[in-house]
Structure 1
Amino acid sequence: MTTMTAPAQRFREFRMPDVGEGLTEAEILKWYVAVGDTVTDGQVICEVETAKAAVELPIPYDGVVSEIRFGEGTTVDVGTPIIVVDAGGDGAAGSADSGGSAGSAGVAASEPPAVETPAPEAPPAEPKRQAVLVGYGVAPSATTRRPRKQAAPDVPAPAVPTADVPTAAVPAPSVPAQAAELNGHDRAAAVDRPLAKPPVRKLAKELGIDLATVVPTGPNGVVTREDIRAAAAPPAALPPVTAAPEPLAATAGARETRIPIKGVRKATAQAMVTSAFTAPHVTEFVTFDITRTMKLVQELKEDRAFTGVRVGPLLLVAKALLVALKRHPEANAAWDEAAQEIVHKSYVNLGIAAATPRGLIVPNIKDAHDKTLPELAAALGELVATARDGKTSPAAMQGGTVTITNVGVFGVDTGTPILNPGESAILAFGAIKLQPWVHKGKVKPRQVTTLALSFDHRLVDGELGSRVLADVAAILEQPKRLLTWG
């Protein structure tokens, strides 16, 4: 039984993990290792982009890279092996040297008497060592006859249906040489079942390759890993992007460019469509004088408590929203369709929409309601910097309750933002502009902005939504309310 598990212990497969919650696929952005490289437990081997973020993947064991299954730019389903590592120990070679017992254990481990009978025949040189390759030579042990020489002639017919014989005709050139080097019943078994080591058979099974259709190039007609890869090459060559531009350029020329919808942009599109057609949106707007808040921003920049952190109007907008939600906690909720319940949350995970080269992402500040203003400033600065570097983790984008999107940085006055799925509200912060405004009975140039609040009308009715938006505007008009209301 120990020889039965040896190949699996040596060749370790690392499968594409679900680095987020419920993700189904990820794109391989970059490999940091190549075939033949030595890797250690915890070493980062590649960077992948999920529907939520770019993530570096560490490998959980030591060994030598023996195979990389997918190239850069390929999208792989979660759970699919992406790399194979030779972890050492007893591998396929060890199984081949161990005589017929190793192969017999892999084919019919439940019959010890038949497994041990090949031992006397192990000494006769090379052809007999080939017979331990899984799939031929030792398959006779799976019957009621104990002696191998009597059992062998019975195996080829039941072990491989006659329907497989025409398929084996594809690699016909290798069969005569292969049969010439084997004797007796081994020849007949080899004709029916191609020669291949256990890891190679496993690879063929995973890739859906019929060994009988593969032309062997190894010694004595043995199918190698390279043969399997060559057989799998035609379908595997389809995903790379390099094949697409030629037919595209031929039909559309330079007037159109097509970009595959994947990664963050694909996830964003799906989420927005789901949200727009699931949650009934209502958007309300308010335009107000934010001059006092802008003066406070300048004062805070000189405050020692904010040394080393960035202070801007977005910080005070975020704080104002947190105070408004504290005054109206019913607006901080979620709709549980399955349980038919409204879930009121006593915490606020404040999402901040961030534009990155990979698309729009919305990481959130966990428990933002508990943070002081300096702590909120530090968390906001770290969140933005991490997003721009493309290092935002999937965990940082999960569990949000409300979101702020700062469209004002693009000079946009306002918009009608769409909710992130599962959240109750999203606040759009527009551009701050110097405009004529009635202040203390006189028209004066004042700094004015517009806020837009979209909310899920199943959770938040018009009155509640209006109160939340009015409170945010009132706080930013008179920032001293951060003390009196907060």
Structure 2
Amino acid sequence: MDDSVAADQNHVLEFRLPDLGEGLTDAELVSWAVAVGDRVELNQTIAEVETAKAQVALPSPFAGEVLELLAQPGDTVPVGAPLIRVATEYQAAERQSVLVGYGPEGETVSRRAAKNPVVHADPALNYPEIPGRPPATPAARKLARELGIDISFVAGSGPGGAVTVDDVRHAVPVSQPPARIQPEPGTESDESPRPSKPPVPTMRPDGGIIRPTPSERETRTPVSGVRKRTATAMVTSARTIPQASAFATTDFTASMELLDHLRSTESFSGLSLTPLALVAKATLAAMAEFPEINSWWDDEHKEIVTKHYVNLGIAVATDRGLLVPNVKEAQALSLRELCREIGWLADVARTGSARPADLRGGTFTISNVGVFGVDTGVPLVNPGEGAILCLGSIRKQPWVYRDELAVRWVTTLGLSFDHRMIDGEQGARFLSTVTSLLEDPLTLLGRV
């Protein structure tokens, strides 16, 4: 028998945050699905975490009784940091596996097992120290959430600068200045609910102005998850990729007519066939003629890397921020298959169930800003890609058609590209080919 196994065969193990893929270094704990004292089974979901890419349910790699939760919802937990301590049978937990479908193959996340469940620190100060965030007791974090206070802006007076309950209480802003004019009888009292509206200066009895306090004039929101990842990618794009843009306004009427026809066919029954799918198909067809569009610049080796496959990214606006899942091997799909894949990826992105694998490996992106009523845009090229196409709104407009003025469906496409490897002539010809295919979409029918 292993010397580290206690006589009762119980062993305390720590479940550490596993590597969730593509170099992600941390995740934000969204919620716990278990509590101290609960019995957990193998592969039972114990928590949900949000990475910069997706929201992920964490299954337990072993069965046992929950002894301690080592992080609070809202905490940013580094990869490899302990999340939970579980008392379990030693034989049932020989090793902790990386989550299936996440992280590098063949690697496991290291973990440390304590022989006896002894807590040496004061329980009131047993909090996880999260890099970039102030240490705080669980009680202080809980009180801050209840009071709506951002704990990252509270000065700590505890050991090591830890934020205590008293620190949070002292940080509560005074809701009303003492000199504020009292309401007249029969009017709204201080206890009455008020609609949420921007604070405005009020008058003192002596005619002076009472101005809102700084805490009422602005809100500070810690950046994490998708927003943090997006910010990093966009700064990298703006600083490292010299970008140029081209625009083309095109007659989309024939494409709209084709879409109406296809929606009535049995092949597309049950599918949400949108203009985006047809634009994606035209883009893929044009890319076959201009493979340099599906390339990226390897700055380290000073090489242009041309991909002979297309993982087509589709920008999706979600409650968590902008996500870009991509359709794998899109160049091999028919219009019907492409339509189905785009719809499915958009759904999983909006519901927070996209896997990290769905969001990595993109080679080209389409952003459909037209759904917000915008004519076009100048999107930034995603790092690791060479170009991005922007689809504007599709509207009925006056248009010269066969030398006569007519009302036609019209849209504007915008292309941003890495000017280090894509010349203006190449970008313009690629965009012109896309618009030509959309003006005469019957040429795409052989690929439907």
Q: TM-score, normalised by structure 1?
A: 0.70
Contact 2:378 2:414 in 1 (8 A): yes
Counterpart of 2:435 in 1: which secondary structure?
A: helix
CA distance in 2, matches of 1:329, 1:9: 60
Gaps of 5+ in 2: 92-113, 128-133, 152-167, 175-212
What's the counterpart of residue 431 of structure 1? 393
Instruction: Please name the residue that 2:184 is paired with.
Output: none
Q: Distance in 2 between matches of 1:414 and 1:447?
A: 15
* Cα distance change, pair 419–9 in 1 and its aligned pair in 2 (3 A): farther
Taking the aligned partners of 1:391 and 1:4, their CA distance within structure 2 comes to 39
Q: 1:320 aligns with which of 282, 299, 302?
A: 282
Do residues 232 (structure 1) and 132 (structure 2) align?
Answer: no
Report the AA paired with residue 448 of structure 1.
V
Q: Kindly provide the amino acid, as one letter, of the partner of residue 40 in structure 1.
A: E
Is 2:258 aligned against 1:287? no
Please list every run of 5 or more consecutive structure 1 residues that lacks an aligned counterpart in the other structure.
Answer: 91-196, 201-223
Higher mean displacement: 475-484 or 246-255: 246-255
* 8 A Cα contact 2:335 2:447, kept in partner: no
1:481–1:67 CA distance, 2 compared to 1 (3 A)? same
Match of 2:97 in 1: none
Whole-angstrom distance in 2 between the partners of 1:360 and 1:63: 38
CA-CA distance at 1:244 after TM superposition:
2.2
* Amino acid corresponding to residue 27 of structure 2 in structure 1: A
Deviation of residue 314 (structure 1)?
0.6
> Match of 2:337?
375
Instruction: Tell whether the 8 Å contact from 1:74 to 1:239 is kept in structure 2 after alignment.
Output: no
Structure 1 residue 258 displacement after superposition: 1.9
CA distance 1:9–1:418, shift in 2 (3 Å): farther
Q: Which residue of 1 aligns with 2:69?
A: 68
Q: Could you tell me how far apart the structure 2 residues matched to 1:323 and 1:464 are? A: 15
Q: Distance in 2 between matches of 1:52 and 1:322?
A: 25
* Cα distance in 2, alignment partners of residues 353 and 366 from structure 1: 15
* Structure 1 equivalent of residue 360 of structure 2: 398
Letter in 2 for 1:392: A
Q: How does 1:326-365 map to 2 (within 5 A)?
A: 326-365=288-327
C-alpha distance in 2 between matches for 1:265 and 1:310: 29
Instruction: Give the total of aligned pairs.
Output: 357
Paired with 1:384 and 1:373, the residues of 2 have a C-alpha distance of: 16
User: Given residue 42 of structure 1, which amino acid in structure 2 is its aligned partner?
Assistant: N
CA distance in 2, matches of 1:248, 1:289: 59
- Is 1:244 aligned to residue 245 of structure 2? no
In 1, the alpha carbon distance for the partners of 2:435 and 2:124 equals 65
Match for 1:66: what amino acid?
L
Residue type of the alignment partner of 1:77 = P
Q: What is the aligned partner in structure 2 of residue 256 from structure 1?
A: 218
Which AA in structure 2 matches 1:244?
D
User: Could you report, residue by residue, the CA deviation over 1:34-92 in whole angstroms, capped at 9, with x for unpaired residues?
Assistant: 111111211111110001111111111111111110111111111001011111359xx
Which residue identity is paired with 2:76? T
Q: Over aligned residues, Cα RMSD in angstroms? A: 2.3
CA contact (8 A) 1:363 1:397 kept: yes
1:271 is matched with: 233
| 1:306 CA displacement | 0.9
- Identity over aligned residues, as a percent? 49
Q: What amino acid is the match of 1:453?
A: L
DSSP 3-state at the match of 1:314: helix
**Structure 1 residue 433, shift from structure 2 partner:** 1.3
Q: Name the CA distance, whole Å, in 1 between partners of 2:141 and 2:245.
A: 42
Cα deviation for residue 442 of structure 1 reads: 0.4
The answer on whether the counterparts of 1:349 and 1:366 sit within 8 Å (CA) in structure 2 is yes
1:63 counterpart letter in structure 2: G
The aligned amino acid for 1:266 is: K
Among 390, 394, 407, the alignment partner of 2:369 is 407
Amino acid at match of 2:79: V
Per-residue CA distance 1:348-404 (angstroms, 9 max, x = gap): 000000000000010000001001111111101101111111111111110000000
Name the aligned partner's letter for residue 465 of structure 1. G
Cα distance in 2 between the residues matched to 1:388 and 1:442: 44
Give, in angstroms, the shift of residue 230 of structure 1. Answer: 2.4
Distance 2:447 2:379 in 1: 27
- Which residue in 2 is equivalent to 1:12? 13
Query: What is the deviation of 1:239?
Result: 6.3
Contact kept? 1:51, 1:263, Cα under 8 Å = yes
CA offsets 1:234-290 (integer angstroms, 9 cap, x no match): 933376663427748554343322211111001101100101111111110000110
CA contact (8 A) 2:27 2:50 kept: yes
Please state whether the residue corresponding to 1:434 is helix, strand or coil. Answer: strand
Aligned 1:132-147 pairs, distance under 5 A = none
Task: Judge which range, 81-90 or 343-352, deviates more.
Answer: 81-90
Whether the 8 Å contact between 1:432 and 1:447 is mirrored in structure 2 is yes
Native 8 Å contact 2:398 2:408 kept in 1: yes
Per-residue CA deviations over 1:96-123 (Å, capped at 9, x if unaligned) read xxxxxxxxxxxxxxxxxxxxxxxxxxxx
Larger Rg: 1
In the aligned structure 2, how far is the partner of 1:312 from the partner of 1:413? Answer: 17
Equivalent residues of 2:125, 2:136 under 8 A apart: no
Which amino acid letter does the alignment assign opposite residue 232 of structure 1?
N
Q: Aligned residue for 2:194?
A: none
Q: CA deviation at 1:9?
A: 7.3
Relative contact order, higher structure (CA 8 A, sep 6+): 2
Q: Which residue of 2 aligns with 1:52?
A: 53
SS of 2:47's equivalent in the other structure is strand
Change beyond 3 A, Cα 1:89–1:262: closer
**Closer, same or farther: CA 312–411 of 1 in aligned 2, 3 Å:** same
Q: For residue 3 of structure 2, what is the amino acid of its counterpart? A: T
Q: Secondary structure of the residue that 2:46 maps to in structure 1?
A: strand
Aligned-partner Cα distance in 2 for 1:295–1:340: 46
Cα distance in 2, alignment partners of residues 231 and 258 from structure 1: 26
- Maintained 8 Å contact 1:416/1:452: yes
The letter of the residue matching 1:3 is D
Q: Report the alpha carbon displacement of residue 463 of structure 1 after superposing the two structures with TM.
A: 1.4
CA 1:364–1:239: 2 relative to 1, 3 Å? farther
- Rounded to whole Å, the distance in 2 between the matches of 1:329 and 1:249 is 59
User: Deviations along 1:145-183, whole A, 9 cap, x unmatched?
Assistant: xxxxxxxxxxxxxxxxxxxxxxxxxxxxxxxxxxxxxxx
DSSP-derived class of the 1:51 partner: coil
Aligned-residue offset at 1:469: 0.6
- AA matched with 1:255: R
Q: CA deviation at 1:14?
A: 0.7
3-state secondary structure, aligned to 1:416: coil
Partner secondary structure for residue 377 of structure 1: helix
Over 3 Å counting, the alpha-carbon distance change for 1:6 and 1:328 in structure 2 is farther
* 3-state secondary structure, aligned to 1:41: coil
Pairing of 1:173-184 with structure 2 (within 5 A) = none
